[in-house]
Every structure is written in structure tokens, then in C-alpha cells.
A and B are shown apart, each in its own frame.
Chain A
Amino acid sequence: MSDTFDGISMLSAIAVLTGLGIGFGALLGVVSERFKREDNPLVEQIDALLPQTQCGQCGYPGCRPYAEAINQGDALNKCPPGGEATILALADLLGREPEPLDGEAQSEATVAFIREAECIGCTKCIQACPVDAIIGAAKLMHTVIEDECTGCDLCLDPCPVDCIDMLPRSAPITQWQPVTTPAHNVIASDRPNTLGGVHVERL
């Protein structure tokens, strides 16, 4: 008697759980189709970490395409403007190992500057600029809006008369960063020898 009862209860349990499984599975399936997102939120996050210079030094036409490529598994170390900090931030986000930078790190932020006396007004740099930071018209001299320039170098190559220089970006005095001396070596053995220049060796 108890055996049959157990058998029925077991069967009913299996049936209920299977039913629940199928039901929720179907629900999840419908929901994932119904509320499908076109864009990948991870790509957005990667894109937010990139410096947005749109310079193409990574081999992709802009930061967003590179973000998509990273999401597909491309290396993290192809962004020279971002440098070490960007690689570390990306590695942290994606849980990958940070790699050394592929290429030369930029020492300081730069902006393009057009030597206006030499500009012939060919508009080639205007077409190359990824952020519309160059203004001018055909046969009229061009100039760079410093605040909008990302320092990507993309306008240098197209210029037929080489009249574009990369200059250090000027910063307002309110954004001055104090130069701080690193903390002293506070561990006694790290300090420079003080006893009259004689190094006291441990015997």
C-alpha cells in the first residue's frame, strides 16, 4: 500500500517539477526573444573605458569598433593613447590578464595645430578628422578647434604640404596638478645611509 503511494507521489513530483521546468523554460525563451537588446551592454562598458581619441592606432576605425573587437576576443593592448591605465581597467573589467602595451605610449596629451600661413585649403584634413574639430573651406585656410581635438594624428598624413604640427595641449591654470614628492622611505633599511656616509653592515 505504502509502496504504491510512494510511487504515485514520486511520479507526481517528477511531473510537477518537469512541468515547472518546461513552463519556466518557455517563459525565459519568450522573454529573451521579446526583450532582446540590439546592442551589447558589455561593448558599451568597454567603449566607456577607451580614451575616445578615435585615432585608429588599434587598427579599427574608431574606439567603438575596437570595443566590439575586444568583446569578440581581440587583445587589450592595442590602444597607445589609453596606455597602461586603460589596459589595466579593461583587464579588470573582463577578467583577463593584462598585457604590455603594443606600441609606444604617449608621453603627453597633444593637439593638432595648423600653420595657417602654409595651409593651401585642400580640405583633406577636414575629411580625415573623426570628431569634426577642423573648420575651413576649399581654398580657404583651415584651423583646429583646440577644445575639440583629441590629438589622434589622423590629419597629419593626408596633408599635402605638411603644415600640421602636434603640440602639447594647453591646460587652464585651474587644472594645474601639484607636483608632489613621493613619500619618504619610511622603512629604516630603505633609507639612504645617514651615519656619516658609512654603510653599517650587519655582522
Chain B
Amino acid sequence: MSSAFDFPGGIYPPQRKQRSNQAALIEAPLPSRVALPLLQHSGKPATPCVTSGDLVKVGSVIAKREGLISCDLHASISGTVMEVTATQVVIESDGKDTWQRLPAMDWHSVEPYQLLSRLNESGIVGLGGAGFPTHIKARVMEQHAIHTLVINAAECEPYITADDLTLRSYPAEVLEGAQIMAKLCAAERIIIGIEDNKPDAIEALQNALTPSLPIPIELSIIATRYPSGGERQLIKKLLNVNVPSDGLPADVGVLCHNPGTLLAILHAVRDGQPLVSRVVTLTGEAIEHPGNRWIRLGTSVREVLEQAGINLSGPNQSKLHQVIQGGPMMGTPLLTLDSPVTKLTNCLIAATLEELPPAPTEVPCIRCGECESVCPVALLPQQLHWYARAKDDDKLERYHLFDCIECGACSYVCPSHIPLVADYREAKSRIRIQRIETAKAEHARHRFEFRQARLAREEAEKKARREARQAQNRRSPTQASSSSEAIDLRGLRIAHAAAKASVKKAEKTLARVAQQDPNQSLDDLEMQLATAQENLRAAELQLAQAREQQPSKESP
């Protein structure tokens, strides 16, 4: 099926994939030392569960997931833990490469919960670059009905060929991994979206597609255009479905997975092998032996590049200008070559100065509108640019800044060389931090209100006890004093009713929110309920006391 659907915008940058897709996929030599950052996924960092001096094998858990969105981390070489810091675990190799695997599993026969718990333990994240923990994505069917699983093999960014080589080397395995995920989320069909610049991978997939597969797989070849590998763009192109602005693909019944992730899922389920290595594209003019390698996580970028034939010192030093992690459009230049390869590193580009020259000096926007015509999300990059520079956050949100996928198409075509995406990234992080601050202030307000309510209740209780003591001491009630005090019984009764109503309201809100989204933190709502209960208790005490003092007036 060649698709007739299309997403807006898009650009055609030079592909430059030839350099890395010629050599076969090989294993990189074992590193002697790995540094494994605790945050290699989106969400909260994992908590280390080893201490320095511990002996670990390949696949031993070294950090446990923490909180709702997080992911386990496993040792990628066997040896001794040298250092555990707040951000990373360093392991020195013993050179033996002994493995610790989980028991193998036959995914055809096991229950879904067993598959889920296996994914929980395997530390797999989306290997396309975003790094969302896969075990959470696999549980999506608890909330949404999924009809289609999309294998995102578009790999639209220039230079990167990791998915291409994965599909050429392991087509049947990737398809089997897709069957596992499709079974887990009860999808009816699987669609592979692949760009037409990967003929070898397409051929390999066509050979691997057999009619005996339980869930039908469809191969959809799309025209090469950046950024067709964006999740929303690919879904639009393959299925002509728009994913809502603040929603997820799961809201329209679609789930996207990267081929590398599916391969890792199969390895985790079939062989019990957690995620300890990944395919990385090594490319760029400064490298002598470009290609794709299986690299153990935590290997330093310097070591990886030196193995690929780069001279960092000496007389015939390579003309290295910068190393980019990820693609040239969305990747980030590395500040130091000592940073490790992580679960998110799909490509390392060692570029020379002529290959990827630095952007010329920015000049003023001439309002040509080029950026608007290439934006794949149909935003107005120009307006966003003005508002981002002016820090006009309300306007930015009204112009849907958070729908921006940071693909870089607008910066690529800008004739004034304005770093538009850098502006948007900065504005996004500023707004995000502001939201966190607002939430924090709101939380402090609830705690303050709770404290006030608690103090009022304690005061009321103290007063009640005192009155009771006095009444006992006196025995003969002196009506004169209490009747002279004008006690506003009606006001107290109204306050009591209002307090009761607010407790009911708080209970209702809590129940509603808890039902809507069980994963959400309910601290603040629980605090509000507790505050309302304290208020009610205080009102009850005051009312009871007032009634005692005025028994005659109470009965009409």
C-alpha cells in the first residue's frame, strides 16, 4: 500500500546515509570500564542497589526503578563496581563477560502478566531516542483499546542507519518482537512504516513476512521526507489519523514502537537478556571505519570513536570539529568525549568543520514565512519566535508551543539563520519550571490551610475541655453569664453545615480524580480533605458548646 495521506510541511535535507550503511552490523570490543548514568530514560532516575566493591555479572540489576515512570538499570559488563555516585555507577571489567540471564520464556504460552513483569525487569526503553520506559507503554491497554501496532522504521534523520541495519540483520526477530507487543496490547494488525531509501531493509522484511504469523503484518513504504519518523507524522501518513494535540497515539488506538525496541523485547522475553547493549551508528567524515556496532551501554564515546578509527592526537590527527549525539537535526553536540553511550544514543556523528559548519551569525527575521510552510505540526514558528524572545508565556501556550516536536525543520530553512528550535527549547523549559513552581506554591497553600484548620480545631477542643471543667467545678449553672453572651447559634449552625458540605465536596473530588487517573498523585486533594475534616471538627465542637450553654433557646 503506498499511502495517499500526508502530513503538512517537511524538508529534504541531504541523506548522507551511504557512509554508514555499507558495512555489516558487528559487535564492538568489550570495554574495560563502563559508566552507567542512573537516568537513561524519561522520568525519574533509578536508585542504585549496589555499592562499590560489589561483583556484578552482565545483566545484574544495579539500580532499581523509582516512582511511576522509571526504569531498571543492569550491569553491561561483568566485573567490580568501582564507584556509585548520585548520578552514575562505574564498573571495571574483569574481562570474562559472564552473564546473568533471566529464565527463558515461550511468549506463545505465557500469561500477559508474566510478559509484563518480564518487561518490568528488563530495563527496556524506547530506543528511537525519546527513551520512554517500554513496560509502561505495554500497560497502555489497561486504559485504551489498541487496534494497530505501528513499527516506526522510517528513520528519517540524515546519517542514522541503526534501524536500517537492525532490520537487515534481524528481520524475523523484529517481527517476532512486534508479535509479542501486539499480543500484549491486543492489536488486530501491525503496520511497518519504512522510508523508500532503505531498499535492503525492505527486501529483508519482505522475505521475512510469512503468512503463518498470527497477527497480520503489513509493509507500508513511504516517500523519504523529514520528519516522517515523528510518531504523529507517521501515524498521519500511514493511517490518516490525527493524534490530538494534548493526547497520545494510544488515544486513537495506535501504538508505535521502534524496531530496535522490538528486538530488545524479544531478547528479554525469549532469551531473558536485559537491555545491556544497543546498536549505534558511528559516522561522519572524521571516522575511518564508519558503520553500525553493538555497543555495551556505558562505554565512553572516546573509546567507541577510537575503535572506529579516529585519531584524537598525534601527527595525523583527524580533522574532528564536533561530535553530535543523535542526528544532525535533533541531536546535541557533546561537550566532552568522556560521556558514555546510553540507552538513548542511536548515533554518533564525528563531523569535520566542512561537513557540518557552524551556523552563520543570526540576522533579523524578514518574515518570509518559510518556517511556517515546512512545520510538520502546522504551527507558526515565526510568531513563536517573537513570543519566545519576548518571554510572553501566555501567548506561547496559546500558539501551542508544547505541540512543537523540535524537529528543526524551521531552523534548517531559515534564511536568517535564527536558531528557532533553541529558542523554543529554552521557552519550554522555562514554562515547565514555572509550572512546577506554581504547583509547589499551591501545595504550600494547602499545607498552610491545613495547619490553620488544625490549630483552630485544637483551640476549640481546648476551650471545650476548659468549659467542661468549669461546669463540673461549679455544679450550679449560672444562667446569667451565658445568656448575657450573645452567642450566634444560627451563624455557628450555618458554619457547621458549610464545613460538612465542604468535606463532602472534597471527598467527591478526591474520588472522582482517583477514578479518572489512578496513577496521579493525590497528596494535595487528600490534604484538602483533611483540612475540611479539621474545619468540620472545630465547627462541631463550637456548635456543641454553644448548644450546651443555651439549652433553653435551642429547643424552639
B361 within 8 A of A: yes
Q: List A contacts of B429 (CB < 8 A).
A: 176-178
Q: List A contacts of B68 (CB < 8 A).
A: none
Q: A130-B451, A175-B433, A177-B433 are in contact. Are A150 and B362 (CB under 8 A)?
A: no
What secondary structure prevails in chain B residues at the interface with A?
helix
A-B CB contacts (within 8 Å), total count: 55
B427-445: CB near A (< 8 Å → 1, else 0) gives 0011011001000011111
| A131 B444 Cβ-Cβ under 8 A | yes
14 CB contacts below 8 A, A to B, read A52-B441, A52-B444, A52-B445, A53-B444, A54-B444, A130-B448, A131-B444, A131-B447, A131-B448, A132-B451, A175-B433, A177-B433, A180-B426, A183-B362
Q: List A contacts of B441 (CB < 8 A).
A: 50-52
B183 within 8 A of A: no
Q: List B contacts of A52 (CB < 8 A).
A: 441-442, 444-445, 448
Q: List A contacts of B450 (CB < 8 A).
A: 132
Q: Which of B72-97 contact A (CB under 8 A)?
A: 87
B195-234: CB near A (< 8 Å → 1, else 0) gives 0000000000000000000000000000000000000000
Give the interface size bracket for A toward B.
Answer: 20 to 34
A34 within 8 A of B: no
What secondary structure prevails in chain A residues at the interface with B?
loop
CB B255 to nearest CB in A, in angstroms, measures 26
CB B338 to nearest CB in A, in angstroms, measures 17
CB B48 to nearest CB in A, in angstroms, measures 16
Q: Which of A66-95 contact B (CB under 8 A)?
A: none
B364 within 8 A of A: yes
A144 to B39, CA, bound (A): 27
Set B39, B426, B445: member contacting A63, Cβ < 8 A: B445
A2 to B147, CA, bound (A): 79
B389 within 8 A of A: yes
A131-155: CB near B (< 8 Å → 1, else 0) gives 1110000000000000010100000
Which 9 residue pairs across A and B have the least CB separation, nearest first?
A52-B441, A131-B447, A52-B444, A52-B445, A186-B364, A54-B448, A150-B444, A180-B426, A131-B444
- On A, residues with C-beta under 8 Å from B are 38, 47, 50-54, 62-64, 130-133, 148, 150, 173-178, 180, 183-184, 186
A90 to B104, CA, bound (A): 63
Set B87, B444, B447, B498: member contacting A38, Cβ < 8 A: B498
A173 to B39, CA, bound (A): 10
B267 within 8 A of A: no
| A184 B447 Cβ-Cβ under 8 A | no
Known: A133-B447, A148-B447, A178-B426. 6 other contacts (CB 8 A): A62-B448, A62-B452, A63-B448, A150-B444, A175-B432, A178-B429
B486 within 8 A of A: no
Q: A38-B498, A132-B450 are in contact. Are A47 and B445 (CB under 8 A)?
A: yes
CB A180 to nearest CB in B, in angstroms, measures 5
A135 to B108, CA, bound (A): 53
